[in-house]
């Protein structure tokens, strides 16, 4: 079973694509970082939460045939690198899509889906996946 | 204080199964079964969808249409369902977090068979009307279960709709709501049981028809109105047959229920059924349209609403989210094996 506390800490990012932004240089981080590797000391106290756009385009993708247990019911399925409208690259599963119709550049939108569950009695983990726009 | 609908959003999963495919497995003439129930197909949730994800999608569409509303001004979220993913742990807190409404708010899950969504609308009306909250969110969402081979398996489907209830910029004023409630055990599911049971024909006359007609007549009496005073009517729709018959019994025409009746194409979405029917009506509504709504939940009760669409619907940003007709486009049909897999009916190793 995964740590409930650790999963709970992930909620802002997983539900609402909340990362952070360095207000010193403008760089956006997802997942959230508390320190900007470019500005270093100058970024201290200048990192703020930043919600990414829920829309973007497929930068690249791959179809998965050997799935981990959590996705056994959905194979084969696609995962994609998505460039959000903010220009940030994030990775996620692409669902409700015909695999043969996925194209690089295809507009997609983040939705909330079940990612996994800790068995039949444990916590259910929700997070972002992408659907065609 | 005027209270009404400020915004709404709806969502139905993409997958469908037809009654003839279900009947093929159980040695039943599914086509006749579907014809008798007036169900052409029903929606099926994908394995990663549940009441939380359906409610969230509907709620996000609802918020997309009112970008001027700060989610932090939502003071209450109620989610009605008979298929909440947890027995203990609210669906409503997850959805509240996903639309950015937390933490200064109240939330609770509701259960009243198929009418828990409309019960949530009533609760929000009370809080808004009393000035306790600025906005309340009521959602009906279900991924309902029918036992394999049971008549319910031909209808039990998945979907939901969300309503932002408030007193400012309302696109549809709720003129009045009232309910008719008794202890009538027509359909139930005991704690820990995977499938509900029902009283067969007992779910008809003493249950669905008695409660809907009683609540509807109470509303017509209270408002001094007749069926012809309404442009649209929405009745609970466990199948296509019951709402068609109850509409005729009350004196409503097939034209009045055409937009509010979705079950023939998506099945019975339980707590989502009347909220989805009303969403489709609002997708087509114009200022001044009067809407008559009566839900039904087994166990049993009916909530009736008298609603008038306001001029504000002209400036409402409905196009910021897809209307139901678009959501229902391009369904993917699945066979019974895929349906059984998606619905978790196949026993898997732990």
Q: Where are the domains of chain B?
A: 4-171+317-342, 173-313
Cβ pair B53:A73 closer than 8 A: no
Q: Among A95, A111, A115, select the one facing B57 at the smallest CB separation.
A: A111
Quick one: which of B99, B126, B87 has its CA closest to B1?
Answer: B126
Kind and range of the H or E element at B35? helix B30-37
CA pair distance A52, B289, nearest whole angstrom: 39
Q: Per-residue pLDDT tens for B87-139? A: 999 999 999 999 999 999 999 999 999 999 999 999 999 999 999 999 999 99
- B210-223 and B241-250 are packed helices; what angle lies between their axes, rounded to 10 degrees? 40
User: Alpha helix locations (H) across A1-133?
Assistant: 4-9, 11-16
3-state helix, strand, coil in chain A (%, to 5): 15, 40, 40
The low-confidence residues of chain A, meaning pLDDT below 70, are: 1
Calculate ∠ Cα A7-A115-B77, nearest 5°: 75
Cis peptide upstream of residue B300 (ω within 30 degrees of 0): yes
How far apart (Å, rounded) are the C-alpha atoms in residues B51 and B83? 7
3-state secondary structure A74-126: CCCEEEEEEEECCCCEEEEEECCCCHHHCCCCCEEEEEEEEEEECCCCCCEEE
Q: How many CA atoms lie within 13 A of A95 on its CB side?
A: 24
- B173-313 topology per CATH: Peroxisomal Thiolase; Chain A, domain 1 (3.40.47)
pTM exceeds 0.90: yes
Residue in A15, A73, A96 nearest the CB of B14: A96
Contacts of B56 in chain A (CB under 8 A): 111-112
Point out the residue among A73, A95, A126 whose CB comes nearest to the CB of B94.
A126
Tell if the CB–CB gap between A112 and B14 is shorter than 8 Å: no
Output the 3-class SS for chain B: CCCEEEEEEEECCCEEECHHHHHHHHCCCHHHHHHHHCCCCEEECCCCCCHHHHHHHHHHHHHHCCCCCCHHHEEEEEEECCCCCCCCCCHHHHHHHHCCCCCCCEEEEECECECHHHHHHHHHHHHHHCCCCCEEEEEEEEECCCCCCCHHHHCECEEEEEEEEECCCCCEEEEEEEEEEEEECCEECCCCCCCCEECHHHHHHHHHHHHHHHHHHHHHHHHCCCHHHCCEEEECCCCCHHHHHHHHHHCCCHHHHCCCCCHHHHCECHHHHHHHHHHHHHHHCCCCCEEEEECCECEEEEEEEEEEECHHHHCCCHHHCCCHHHHCCCCEECCHHHHHHHCCCCCCCC
Cα distances (angstroms) measured from residue B148 to each of B46, B98, B168 = 18, 33, 47
- Whole-angstrom Cα distance, residue A86 to residue A17? 12
Does the structural domain B4-171+317-342 have CATH classification 3.40.50.300?
no
B124 is a catalytic site residue: no
Instruction: Report domain extents, chain A.
Output: 53-132
Taking only the tens place, the pLDDT of each residue in B196-221 is 999 988 999 999 999 999 999 999 99
Is B4-171+317-342's fold the same as B173-313's?
Answer: yes
What local confidence, expressed as pLDDT, does residue A1 receive? 57
Q: Domain A53-132 falls in which CATH fold? A: OB fold (Dihydrolipoamide Acetyltransferase, E2P) (2.40.50)
Question: Does B82 lie at the interface with A, CB-CB under 8 angstroms?
Answer: no
Q: Which of B21, B57, B82, B153 does the annotation list as catalytic? A: B82
Taking the Cβ of residue B143 and every Cβ of chain A, the question of whether any pair is shorter than 8 Å is answered with no
Sheet architecture: strand order including B299-309 = B106-110, B74-80, B135-143, B158-166, B4-11, B172-184, B299-309, B290-294, B232-235
Instruction: Note the pLDDT of residue B348.
Output: 86
Are the C-beta atoms of B284 and B259 separated by less than 8 Å?
A: yes
Kindly give the parts of chain B with pLDDT less than 50: none
**Contacts with A, B 10-29, CB within 8 Å:** 14
- CB contacts of A112 in chain B (<8 Å) are 52-53, 56-57, 98
pLDDT for the residue A3 = 85
Please indicate if any CB of chain A lies within 8 Å of the CB of B83: no
pLDDT tens for each residue of A14-40:
999 999 999 999 999 999 999 999 999
The secondary structure of chain B in percent helix, strand, coil, rounded to multiples of 5, reads 40, 25, 35
């Amino acid at each position: 079973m995964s740590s409930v506390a650790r999963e709970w800490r992930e909620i802002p990012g997983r539900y609402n694509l909340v990362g952070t932004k360095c207000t010193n240089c403008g760089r956006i981080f997802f997942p959230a970082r508390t320190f900007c590797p470019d500005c270093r000391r100058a970024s201290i106290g200048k990192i703020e939460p930043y919600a990414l756009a829920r829309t973007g385009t497929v930068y690249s993708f791959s179809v998965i045939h050997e799935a981990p247990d959590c996705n056994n019911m959905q194979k084969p399925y696609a995962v994609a690198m998505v460039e959000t409208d903010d220009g940030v690259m994030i990775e996620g599963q692409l669902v409700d899509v015909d695999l043969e119709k996925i194209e690089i550049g295809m507009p997609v939108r983040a939705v909330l889906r079940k990612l996994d569950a800790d068995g039949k009695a444990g916590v259910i983990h929700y997070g972002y996946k992408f659907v065609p726009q | 204080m005027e209270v009404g609908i400020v915004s709404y959003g709806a969502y139905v999963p993409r997958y469908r199964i037809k009654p003839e495919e279900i009947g093929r497995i159980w040695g039943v003439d599914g086509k006749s079964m579907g014809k008798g129930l007036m169900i052409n197909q029903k929606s099926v949730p994908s394995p990663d969808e549940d009441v939380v994800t359906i409610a969230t999608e509907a709620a996000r569409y609802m918020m997309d249409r009112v970008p001027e509303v700060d989610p932090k001004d939502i003071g209450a979220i109620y989610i009605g369902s008979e298929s909440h993913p947890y027995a203990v742990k609210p669906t409503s807190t997850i959805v509240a977090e996903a639309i950015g409404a937390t933490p200064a708010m109240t939330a609770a899950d509701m259960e009243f068979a198929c009418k828990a969504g409309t019960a949530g609308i009533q609760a929000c009306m009370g809080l808004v009307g009393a000035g306790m909250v600025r906005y309340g969110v009521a959602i009906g969402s279900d991924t309902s279960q029918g036992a394999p081979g049971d008549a319910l398996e031909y209808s039990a489907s998945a979907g939901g709709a969300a309503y932002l209830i408030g007193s400012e910029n309302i696109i549809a004023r709720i003129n009045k709501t009232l309910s008719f409630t008794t202890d009538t055990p027509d359909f139930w599911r005991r704690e820990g049981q995977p499938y509900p049971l029902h009283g067969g024909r007992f779910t008809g006359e003493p249950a669905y028809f008695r409660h809907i007609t009683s609540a509807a007549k109470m509303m017509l009496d209270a408002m001094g109105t007749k069926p012809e005073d309404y442009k649209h009517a929405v009745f609970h729709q466990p199948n296509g047959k019951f709402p068609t018959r109850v509409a005729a019994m009350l004196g409503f025409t097939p034209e009045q229920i055409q937009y509010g009746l979705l079950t023939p194409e998506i099945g019975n979405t339980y707590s989502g059924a009347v909220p989805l029917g009303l969403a489709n009506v609002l997708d087509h509504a114009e200022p001044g349209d009067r809407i008559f709504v009566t839900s039904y939940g087994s166990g049993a009760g009916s909530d009736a609403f008298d609603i008038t669409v306001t001029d504000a619907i002209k400036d409402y940003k409905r196009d910021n989210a897809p209307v139901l007709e678009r959501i229902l486009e391009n369904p993917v049909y699945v066979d019974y094996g895929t349906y059984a897999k998606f619905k978790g009916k196949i026993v898997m190793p732990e």
